[in-house]
């Protein structure tokens, strides 16, 4: 008998596992996590106890008057609110502006916060760009997902013509988003040198003016001087009669004035929502325990995301409208033969229903 035959003959078959055998628990199985109800049951009393201890050990005081006791709920609310005008960081000791919109060449806390947001975004971009591979690491994966989402959103609204404006669209979105979210951090608003940039109307006006000059420039670049101005002053409409010319000129004049309303609405919408959200959060924080402000904080985070998306989307749509002539707006040959309403053209090769 050969060696292989002897080895095969001496090999004993492994016993088959019994059907009723109970599987052994896995060694890696850990202790079960507590349920959400258990966490909430423990968290709510803990928060209430912490609030009571904080009120006793570190009593609140009126804004700017440490050591004094509050005399009314108004003192608690004022302690959580920011003024409409920003704090001047440099030159030191300079009095804050007396108007909500100022043209004083000084360094304010909102400008400092803007620099911090820009630095954070640049560092994040450098980290994502460093060591890029076909199999992305978590930071690269998150950045690529965010970029693809913004690109798909822009193309779905503006078509292929929106691709050239996506970098600025994404830059506006990210800067405004993180500027909005910075106001939700505890240190922003508590330190004089830090404040959410978009809670200052001067910053939102600056962003809106950048949008205004950008889409006006793109309109002149794409159409030329005379065709672009012809969108607002259609003098050629007088060839169809004086009445048609006057009506077209009146409509064009309204559209021309609306061009200057766009930056105002962009600036005031963003400022009003962010500053109003901070006021609401400050009032709720002063009047309730921490659970309700925490829920409102999550809601503010979602609303801040929406406001950033609205501002950047309007910037994109204003640019798309600016580069289109009236002939392109009214042509739309691909939709010319479609019926009105929800009815579509009959499908080719479709069989009639019996």
Kindly report, residue by residue over 258-309, the tens digit of the pLDDT.
999 999 999 999 999 998 888 888 788 777 777 777 788 888 889 999 999 9
Spatial separation of the C-alpha atoms in residues 10 and 58, rounded to whole Å: 81
Spatial separation of the C-alpha atoms in residues 173 and 30, rounded to whole Å: 42
Residue linked to tokens 């994109």: 316
Locate 257 and state its tokens. Answer: 């004035």
The answer to whether the beta carbons of residues 119 and 138 sit under 8 Å apart is no
Does residue 264 sit within a domain? yes
Greatest alpha-carbon pair distance for the chain in Å reads 117
Stronger pLDDT, 75 or 7, i.e. the higher one: 75
Spatial separation of the C-alpha atoms in residues 102 and 202, rounded to whole Å: 7
Does residue 85 sit within a domain? yes
First to last CA, the chain: 80
Stronger pLDDT, 103 or 196, i.e. the higher one: 196
Does residue 63 sit within a domain? no
Spatial separation of the C-alpha atoms in residues 164 and 157, rounded to whole Å: 13
Express as a percent the part of the chain with pLDDT over 90: 28
Q: What is the pLDDT of residue 335?
A: 46
Spatial separation of the C-alpha atoms in residues 85 and 140, rounded to whole Å: 39
Does residue 196 sit within a domain? yes
Residue linked to tokens 């064009």: 252
pLDDT bucket at 319, cuts 50 / 70 / 90? very high
Coil, strand or helix at 28: coil
Q: What is the mean pLDDT of residues 110-123?
A: 93
Provide the residue range defining the domain that includes 215: 77-325
Does residue 245 sit within a domain? yes
The answer to whether the beta carbons of residues 206 and 176 sit under 8 Å apart is no
Stronger pLDDT, 248 or 82, i.e. the higher one: 248
Q: What is the pLDDT of residue 154?
A: 92
Please report which helix (H) or strand (E) contains residue 309, including its range: helix 291-322
Does residue 131 sit within a domain? yes
Q: What is the pLDDT of residue 340?
A: 47
Q: What is the pLDDT of residue 142?
A: 83
Query: What's the full length of the chain, in residues?
Result: 354
Express as a percent the part of the chain with pLDDT over 70: 75
Q: What is the pLDDT of residue 153?
A: 93
Q: What is the pLDDT of residue 331?
A: 47
The answer to whether the beta carbons of residues 10 and 4 sit under 8 Å apart is no
Does residue 345 sit within a domain? no
Q: What is the mean pLDDT of residues 32-45?
A: 74
Cα distances (Å, whole numbers) of residue 89 to 96, 110, 201, 260: 10, 9, 17, 32
Count CB-CB contacts under 10 A for residue 289. Answer: 14
Contacts of residue 204, Cβ cutoff 8 Å, sequence gap at least 6: 198, 266, 267, 268, 270, 271
Average pLDDT, the chain: 78
The answer to whether the beta carbons of residues 344 and 335 sit under 8 Å apart is no
Q: Is the pLDDT of residue 67 over 50?
A: yes
Spatial separation of the C-alpha atoms in residues 149 and 156, rounded to whole Å: 11
Q: What is the mean pLDDT of residues 21-41?
A: 61
Q: What is the mean pLDDT of residues 220-249?
A: 86
pLDDT bucket at 328, cuts 50 / 70 / 90? low
The answer to whether the beta carbons of residues 101 and 85 sit under 8 Å apart is no
Count CB-CB contacts under 10 A for residue 266. Answer: 23
pTM of model > 0.85? no
CA-wise closest residue to 323 among 217, 213, 210, 207 = 217
Q: Is the pLDDT of residue 11 over 70?
A: no
Q: What is the mean pLDDT of residues 338-344?
A: 47
Does residue 352 sit within a domain? no
Locate 140 and state its tokens. Answer: 């690269």
Q: Provide the number of structural domains found in the chain.
A: 1
Q: Kindly report, residue by residue over 153-204, the tens digit of the pLDDT.
A: 999 988 888 899 999 999 999 999 999 999 888 788 777 788 899 998 999 9
Locate 146 and state its tokens. Answer: 């965010």
pLDDT bucket at 252, cuts 50 / 70 / 90? confident
């Amino acid at each position: 008998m050969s060696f292989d035959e002897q080895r095969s003959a001496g090999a004993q078959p492994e016993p088959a596992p019994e059907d009723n055998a109970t599987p052994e628990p896995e060694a890696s199985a850990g202790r079960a996590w507590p349920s959400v109800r258990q966490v909430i049951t423990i968290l709510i009393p803990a928060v209430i106890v912490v609030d009571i201890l904080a009120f006793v050990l570190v009593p609140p005081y009126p804004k700017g008057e440490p050591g004094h006791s509050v005399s009314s709920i108004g003192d608690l609310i004022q302690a959580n609110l920011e003024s409409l005008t920003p704090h001047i960081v440099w030159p030191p000791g300079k009095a804050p502006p007396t108007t909500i919109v100022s043209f004083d060449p000084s360094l304010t806390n909102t400008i400092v916060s803007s620099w911090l947001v820009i630095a954070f975004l640049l560092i994040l971009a450098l980290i994502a760009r460093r060591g890029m591979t076909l199999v992305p690491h978590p930071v690269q994966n998150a950045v690529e997902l965010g970029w693809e989402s913004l690109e798909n959103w822009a193309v779905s609204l503006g078509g292929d013509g929106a691709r050239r404006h996506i970098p600025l669209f994404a830059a506006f979105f990210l800067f405004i988003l993180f500027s909005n979210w910075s106001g939700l951090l505890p240190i922003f608003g508590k330190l004089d040198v830090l404040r959410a940039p978009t809670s200052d109307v001067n910053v939102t006006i600056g962003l809106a003016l950048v949008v205004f000059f950008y889409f006006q420039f793109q309109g002149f670049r794409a159409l030329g001087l005379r065709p672009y101005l012809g969108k607002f002053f259609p003098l050629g409409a007088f060839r169809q009669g004086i009445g048609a010319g006057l009506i077209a000129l009146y409509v064009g004049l309204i559209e021309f004035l609306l061009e200057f309303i766009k930056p105002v609405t962009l600036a005031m919408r963003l400022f009003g929502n962010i500053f109003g959200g901070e006021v609401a959060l400050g009032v709720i924080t002063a009047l309730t325990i921490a659970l309700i402000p925490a829920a409102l904080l999550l809601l503010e985070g979602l609303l801040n995301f929406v406001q950033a998306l609205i501002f950047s989307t309007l910037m994109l749509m204003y640019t798309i409208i600016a580069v289109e002539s009236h002939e392109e707006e009214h042509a739309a040959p691909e939709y010319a033969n479609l019926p009105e309403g929800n009815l579509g053209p009959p499908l080719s090769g479709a069989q009639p229903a019996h």
